[in-house]
């Protein structure tokens, strides 16, 4: 089936995206905090490829790199398939 997350194509796209994120030190798109790319994949703060539009609701976008976002494993898990809630991010200074 073409929309599976376990296909060879999806794994290659996911690995390429992870490398791009690591190269530019991309932060988690959900909490805006840095991601430690050296952590093992089962660690809560490790990198995990998040689908902006969840696979469960948009299976046609599973292999679309434009739908990929860097996240912490724990942030991605806590979001589930809920919509991403935009935030202002961290303040530029303490008020």
Residues 6+ apart with CB under 8 A from 22: 37, 47
Give the residue ranges of the chain where pLDDT is below 70: 1-5, 85-92, 94-95
What is the value of pTM for the model shown? 0.79
Tell me, what's the pLDDT at 86? 61
Closest CA to 30 of 63, 75, 74: 75
What pLDDT score was predicted for residue 7? 86
Rg (CA), the chain: 14
Give dist(CA 48, CA 1) in Å, integer: 23
* C-alpha dist (Å) from residue 23 to 35, 54, 75, 84: 12, 25, 21, 24
Give the CB-side neighbour count of residue 15, counting CA atoms within 13 A.
Answer: 7
- What does the pLDDT read at residue 1? 44
Give the separation between CA 69 and CA 62, rounded to whole angstroms: 12
pLDDT of residue 95: 65
């Amino acid at each position: 089936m073409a929309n599976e997350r376990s296909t060879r194509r999806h794994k290659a796209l996911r690995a390429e995206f992870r490398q791009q994120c690591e190269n530019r030190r991309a932060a988690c798109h959900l909490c805006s905090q840095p991601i430690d790319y050296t952590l093992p994949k089962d660690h809560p703060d490790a990198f995990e490829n998040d689908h902006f539009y969840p696979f469960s609701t948009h299976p046609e976008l599973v292999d679309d790199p434009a739908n990929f976002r860097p996240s912490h494993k724990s942030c991605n898990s806590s979001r589930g398939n809920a919509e991403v809630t935009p935030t202002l991010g961290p303040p530029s200074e303490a008020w």
